[in-house]
Amino acid sequence: MASQTSHSHEHHIVPTSTYLLTLILLVLLMLATVWAASFNLPAIGPFSGTVVNQMVALIIATAKALLVIMVFMGVRWSSTLAKLWVASGFVTLILLFGILGDYTTRHYEHQHGWEARPDGSLPRSTPDEEVVPPINANDLNVKIRQ
Amino acid sequence: MSAITNTSDHGHDSALHHQFEDIGQQNDSYIVGMWVFLSTEVMFFGALFFIYTLYRWNYQLDFYIAHEHLDVKLGAINTSVLLFSSFTMVMAVQSAQLKRRLHVIGYLLTTIVCACTFLVIKYFEYSSKIADHLYPGAGFATDAHAAFGAHAFEAGKLAVNMNHAQLFYALYFGMTGLHAVHIIAGILVILALIRLWVIRAKSVTLDYIPTEMVGLYWHFVDLVWIFLFPLFYLMPKPH
């Protein structure tokens, strides 16, 4: 029995009230996101109302995720090494989504079946639409993104 | 330090394994190891979320019309059920730390009941999709009017691209299906853990860490759903 009591101070025992409060917050945030989704939120600056709606939903989801990770998964009370590993997966995820930056800045995309045509590959330097008169997309086997 | 002396006194009764300095270092190793696994899971689901983002970006309106078949109420109930199960799981871990054996078993059983409730609701959701032929493949949404209602039509013509709607349901079944597989795996792991507590296995009664590991996995499953719910059920109307 001595061994059990001696190392009880080694791990942090979180009071039930903290967990209960977290649960209440999580349920309230869930209701908030459903409530927010019932409105067509107005556009803010360059973001359309649809994007604003989606951002609100994702911000609430991130808040919920943080509550679960920090309190329920106990990351708040864990070691720096553990925290580093917690971050690693999500950092990788952010890098993955960084690919979208490349995707959205391309003006052309391949036509369906481009790989079957011998001239299907696109030159690295794509002519700028504003300088060069519009190219015939069928010739290049690419189409301009809408 | 006292933990080390205790191992030499009665090594077979202590939770501390010989390769660790003290119980704190041992617990930390377990938790880091579990998070390494969870990181791979984050990336696994992350790739699917990325595919979702890409197609949703391209086919906003089609995805919006396709998503309207989903029932927000059922989704919200399922979210609450999972959030509550996370709470009971964390209480099971706390009871394991305090060595309250019957409390642990009770909380773990409640978690399983919640998990089963989630799956039953999911079963009814899937059934209503299958009844309207909303699964990807030949014969997808053969009766578009029954599946998507009148607002999927504009001047008598179908306003939704069926290929894109099909893509939405491929993602819906793929992502929620993979999540459901994780729920089922979670139920099996929790059942195994309950068995260890029932037979008073020293691996769980002396050391709260096995219960904590199962808890971390269960919270991760909850975490995935926290993002699946708004992305699939609460899609904003393009405006």
Domain that holds residue A35: 2-73
Report yes or no on B13 lying in a domain: no
Of the two residues A49 and A9, the one the predictor is more confident about is A49
- Answer yes or no: do A93 and B42 touch at CB < 8 A: yes
Whether B230 and A37 lie within 8 Å, measured CB to CB: yes
* B238 in any annotated domain: no
Average pLDDT over residues B94-110: 96
Write out chain B residues lying below 8 Å of A40, CB-based. 236-237, 239
What CATH number does residue B35 fall under? 1.20.120.80
> Residue B146 has what pLDDT?
74
Confidence (pLDDT) at B15? 82
pLDDT band at A139; cut points 50, 70, 90: low
Average pLDDT, chain B: 90
Within a domain: A14: yes
Residue B156: what pLDDT? 73
- Res B179: pLDDT: 98
Write the pLDDT tens digit of every residue in A79-107: 999 999 999 999 999 999 998 888 777 76
Most confident of A132-141, B1-10, B126-135: B126-135
Return the pLDDT at B139.
Answer: 80
Whether the CB of B219 is below 8 Å from some CB of chain A: the reply is yes
The verdict on residue B197 lying in a domain is: yes
Cβ of A81 under 8 Å from any chain B Cβ? yes
**Can you give the pLDDT at residue A87?**
95
**Over residues A126-134, mean pLDDT:** 47
Which range is least confidently modeled, B4-13, B39-48, B128-137, B148-157?
B4-13
Asked if the C-beta of A69 comes within 8 angstroms of chain B's C-beta atoms, the answer is: yes
Asked whether residue A43 is assigned to any structural domain, the reply reads: yes
Q: Is residue B12 part of a domain?
A: no
Say how far apart CA B137 and CA B141 lie, in whole Å: 10
Chain B residues touching residue A96 (CB < 8 angstroms): 43, 46-47, 50
Asked if the model's pLDDT at residue B88 lies above 60, the reply is yes
Alpha-carbon gap, residue B30 to B120, rounded angstroms: 33
Burial class (CB in 10 A: 0-12, 13-18, 19+), B105: middle
What single string gives the DSSP state of each residue in chain B? -HHHHHHHHHGGG-S--TTSSSHHHHHHHHHHHHHHHHHHHHHHHHHHHHHHHHHHHHTHHHHHHHHTTS-HHHHHHHHHHHHHHHHHHHHHHHHHHTT-HHHHHHHHHHHHHHHHHHHHHHHHHHHHHHHTT-SSSTTTTSSHHHHH-GGGEETTEE-S-HHHHHHHHHHHHHHHHHHHHHHHHHHHHHHHHHHHHHTT-HHHHT-SHHHHHHHHHHHHHHHHHHHHHHHHH-PPPP-
Number of structural domains (chain B) is: 1
So what's the pLDDT on residue A131? Answer: 47
- Give pLDDT tens digits for B36-49: 999 999 999 999 99
| Domain annotation covers residue B101 | yes
Residue B31 with chain A: CB contacts under 8 Å: 78-79, 82
Cβ–Cβ < 8 Å for A117, A110:
no
